[in-house]
Amino acid sequence: MSSLSVRSLAFAASVAGTLIAPAAAHAAPVTACTALNLCYCINSDNRAAIDANITRIRQMLADERGRGKSIGYLSIPLSPAGGGYFPVNQEIAQQAKDNIEKRFGAQSAWMLNPGAAGNLPAGASGADYMYMWTTVLEGPRGMGEDFDFFYFTGPTDFGRFFTLTGEGDFTRIEAYFDNRAATDPVFKKAVDDGKVTKFGFRNYYGLKASVSFSYGSHDEWNIARLLNERRRGATDLGLASQLPVLFDSQAVNPGSYESPTASGDVGRCIN
């Protein structure tokens, strides 16, 4: 995903499908496992779309690699869960991608932003998305060979969007909320419908906005850990060949490379 957190992408697709077509019978869920033995309960009807996206995204990665670029994966929460707003998170994801590429040099680095790279059919679940992204991150040989680093977004990345300075941050976020409500009819309707509140918006972006509260990002952290565990244990790779992991603009400490976190959408189907 987020993932993306990917739950918001799944929710948006589901709503769109409801608006344009009558409800259809759901296919039986199936357990799909990846090379890292991470299993997800996916909709079997989405398998072809997932496979097509994986092929397309791998080609994107190969094209950027062919231009001599280092490839990074951007893990960022997109879901409005906890008080956020999906379109704002999309905008922050694009800004974060642009900022990271600018930091390293756009001619030398390219970030895969999952929020803009791989939509699935209406009704797709978070598990459908995470199965897709896990397979992409693993690479064809299950060693994460298509990527050079992971970047997990944190408070600094979100604060940059709101131009937070460390003084009166809540006030700045509230001012952004008021201005957007006055200029964005879609946002205003979400507020009027009670889907977004000023209190929740302020507290989310002032206190929670990071991968720490994202289902998809938790899974992506564990994917990075498992890939690096494989690399450390491979005779032709080893410790020095781990994929670098950055959080909130900084490299994580050595112990964090080996530390798991709570799972998000990982889990087999329960019959």
Q: What is the per-residue pLDDT across 100-141, written as a single tens digit (0 to 9) for each?
A: 999 999 999 999 998 887 788 888 888 999 999 999 999 999
Q: What is the per-residue pLDDT across 165-215, written as a single tens digit (0 to 9) for each?
A: 999 999 999 999 999 999 999 999 999 999 999 999 999 999 999 999 888
Q: Say if 263 falls within a structural domain.
A: no
81 burial via Cβ count (<10 Å: 0-12, 13-18, 19+)? middle
Q: Say if 147 falls within a structural domain.
A: yes
Q: Say if 127 falls within a structural domain.
A: yes
Contact present, 221 and 243 (Cβ < 8 Å): no
Q: Say if 80 falls within a structural domain.
A: yes
Q: Say if 161 falls within a structural domain.
A: no
Q: Say if 239 falls within a structural domain.
A: yes
Residue 176 CB neighbours (<10 A)? 18
Q: Say if 97 falls within a structural domain.
A: yes
Q: How far apart are the first and last CA of the chain?
A: 26
Tokens found for residue 186: 């879609």
Host domain of residue 246: 7-154+210-258
pLDDT value for 12: 46
Q: Evaluate if residue 50 carries a pLDDT over 80.
A: yes
User: What domain count does the chain have?
Assistant: 1
Q: Say if 265 falls within a structural domain.
A: no
pTM of this structure: 0.86
